[in-house]
Amino acid sequence: MTFADKAIKYFLGLQTPRGLSKDIEIMNPYHNPDVRQVVKDFYRKFFNKKKQRLFIFGINPGRFGGGLTGIAFTDPVVLKETCGIENCLGNKKELSSKFIYKMIEEYGGVKKFYSNMFISALYPLALIKDGKNHNYYDTRDLSIALRNEIVKSIKSQIEFGCRKDSVIILGKKNADYYSSINKEYNFFKRIIILEHPRYIMQYKLRFVNKYIKKYISALSS
């Protein structure tokens, strides 16, 4: 099976977990037939070979990015205009997606980027609380409740085809959480930590080019 075959099978088979706090809403876009087609088109276009890639893990998808399209850090607009994947998922834009695709453009474009990199999330489904994005680690109970799901998610995604020498983790709190998992399971030899795109776009926008250079330097190393 190719990287694409494994990724499609995994994402389209994701089930919504039960037993979480009632104030947490989980978005599972993979039940949507339009998203299922987008996922197939995207992975078959960019990942239809068995080549190993450097993995980049975010936190969990945002409601206007991966939580909507099923593709990490990818809103419907860049999915169509930059990735060339037609979709009818609307025209919502996401800050994190804007940063990631600006960085990808500087790296050399989507074809070059996805031939070498795979970007995803430690927890693959979007979490919503009070109508806003919610991180899996925002409450202790939630981070504990989802730990087994996150470990399972990492194990499954590694099977797509990854380099084991290094992994890039986006966000310090995300990296702190992941580090304890990596100590237990030894998934990767080295953890590289980068600022999360949402943090950059919300609080460090005037330094965005500096962070893009930092990302590209990490990817190149």
Report the CATH number at residue 103.
3.40.470.10
Neighbours of 124 (CB within 10 A): 24
Inter-axis angle of helices 172-185 and 147-158, to 10 degrees? Answer: 70
Q: Which residue do the tokens 């680690």 mark?
A: 137
With a cut of 90, say whether residue 17 has pLDDT above it.
no
Mean pLDDT value across residues 168-172: 98
**How high is the mean pLDDT of the chain?**
96
With a cut of 90, say whether residue 21 has pLDDT above it.
no
pLDDT at 166: 97
What is the pLDDT confidence band of residue 46, given thresholds at 50, 70 and 90?
very high
- Provide the whole-model pTM: 0.96
* C-alpha to C-alpha distance for 42 and 38, rounded to whole angstroms: 6
pLDDT at 107: 97
Number of domains in the chain: 1
pLDDT at 82: 98
With a cut of 90, say whether residue 19 has pLDDT above it.
no
Task: Report percent pLDDT > 70 for the chain.
Answer: 100
With a cut of 90, say whether residue 54 has pLDDT above it.
yes
What is the pLDDT confidence band of residue 221, given thresholds at 50, 70 and 90?
confident
Q: How many residues does the chain have?
A: 221
Q: Which two tokens stand for residue 75?
A: 């809103």
Closest CA to 181 of 136, 148, 159: 148
* Domain span including residue 193: 3-220
